[in-house]
Amino acid sequence: MTRSPYSSPASRRQFLALSGGALAATALAAAGCSAPDDGASTADAADASEGSKTLTRIGLDYPFTQLPLYSTLVKLSTAAAKKHDVSLLTTSDAGNPDTQATNLTTWITQKMPAIVSFPMVFEATEAMAKRALDAGLIWVTYGGSLEHQSADIQFSFLEGGTLLGEAAAKWANEQLGGKGKVAFLTDGTIQLGRERTKGMIDAFTKNAPGVDVVAREQAIDPDTGLSKSRAVLAKHPDLNLILGVTDAAAYGGFKALQQTGRKATDAKTFVGGQDGAAPSLLAIKQGTFYRASAALAPKDIANAVVDVPLAVAAGKANPSVQVPITLVGRGDTATIDDLLAQNS
């Protein structure tokens, strides 16, 4: 599995500086993360360094707090941890790689026994993950792979994009006669985004070659999806399809289309995304032109956040997991209701 690149060069340099340990001396005071409880006993750290089968704390570092999945993930992971008498602590990175570096440095300094981290800058995080392992801590990479890690959690990235691209192409062939215009909201910054983007674009363009690709815009959150889609619509008001690397971005496209006068039930429009975010699932269920999502079950992810580090601590071989993904559309009412219940 390849490692992932990166945010902007400037941000990347800052992150590299931070992850190199420059802030180690001050990180404890400066970090905005939830500090490990003071029950972080010497015994706990020693246990971790010796590969103990007992974990009492897991740190979840999920930086994209702006995504709808974040609060759901924290709630369900906390509940899953509680079943194992484990405390789950979280960072507050606010989507900033420098803040993420500071918070992770804090946890390594404090010897958080197990860290589950979704790196914003995979290359720079490599050195940090190595320091965690050298300190005897468990490091689980979320949303990709690092060379230095105990295990990883992935979400069938390529498959999710492929499922969405195939479904959209099938719709375009059936409803538009294989013609029309499509815009892709993509992500080229991390492994997850790059693989989802590739699956989405490759599957769509292969199966609907007569549809014109008029835009490929970087967008993972609703605000960016909205602004980028509005810009595309200014040039192409007859745009038929918007496909997103996340449901959050695609939902921004969904709102942009409505703001420019498109009826929510327009028969010649298709919007789809990935993740299974609640607003998108509701729009699908209501019969709008938000027609599909390559959806993850939040409980599956939350369980992996807890089960994978516990498996590492227990010495299980090959504890990494691939969380399954399912394409849902208008007719999948029972599945949508189940996913919405998990998100509530």
pLDDT in tens, the chain (344 residues): 333 333 333 333 333 333 333 222 222 223 333 333 333 333 343 344 444 568 999 999 999 887 767 888 999 999 999 999 999 999 999 889 999 999 999 999 999 999 999 998 888 899 999 999 999 999 999 988 999 999 999 988 999 999 999 999 999 999 999 999 999 999 998 888 999 999 999 999 999 999 999 999 999 999 999 999 999 999 999 999 999 999 999 999 999 999 999 999 999 999 999 999 899 999 999 999 999 999 999 999 999 999 999 999 999 998 999 999 999 999 999 999 999 999 87
Tell me what pLDDT residue 344 has: 76
Tell me what pLDDT residue 163 has: 98
Side chain identity, residue 197: T
* The two domains 57-155+298-323 and 157-295 share their CATH topology (first three levels equal): yes
CB 250, CB 275: distance < 8 Å:
no
CATH architecture observed for domain 57-155+298-323 = 3-Layer(aba) Sandwich (3.40)
Side chain identity, residue 149: Q
Tell me what pLDDT residue 34 has: 38
Tell me what pLDDT residue 71 has: 87
Tell me what pLDDT residue 50 has: 45
Structure tokens at 151: 């295990």
> Which phi and psi (to 5°) does residue 31 adopt?
-70, 145
Q: How far is CA 53 from CA 36, 65, 309, 314, in A?
A: 19, 31, 10, 4
Residues ≥6 apart with Cβ < 8 Å to 136:
45, 48, 49, 50, 111
Please state whether beta strands 212-218 and 241-244 pair in parallel, antiparallel, or not at all (unpaired): unpaired
Tell me what pLDDT residue 68 has: 67
Structure tokens at 256: 């942009």
Count Cβ neighbours within 10 Å for each residue of 44-82 and write b for 16 or more, e otherwise: bbebbeeebeebbbbbbbbbbbebbbeebbbebbbebbe
CATH of 157-295, one of 3.40.50.2300, 3.20.20.70, 3.40.50.720, 3.50.50.60: 3.40.50.2300
Structure tokens at 158: 């390529």
Strand partners, 240: none
Tell me what pLDDT residue 52 has: 54
Sketch the domain layout of the chain as residue ranges.
Answer: 57-155+298-323, 157-295
- Smallest CA-to-CA distance from 277 within 215, 336, 199 is with 336
Collapsing DSSP to helix, strand or coil, 217 comes out as strand
> Which phi and psi (to 5°) does residue 216 adopt?
-135, 105
Residues ≥6 apart with Cβ < 8 Å to 38:
none
Tell me what pLDDT residue 8 has: 36
> Which phi and psi (to 5°) does residue 174 adopt?
-80, -40
Strand partners, 213: 182
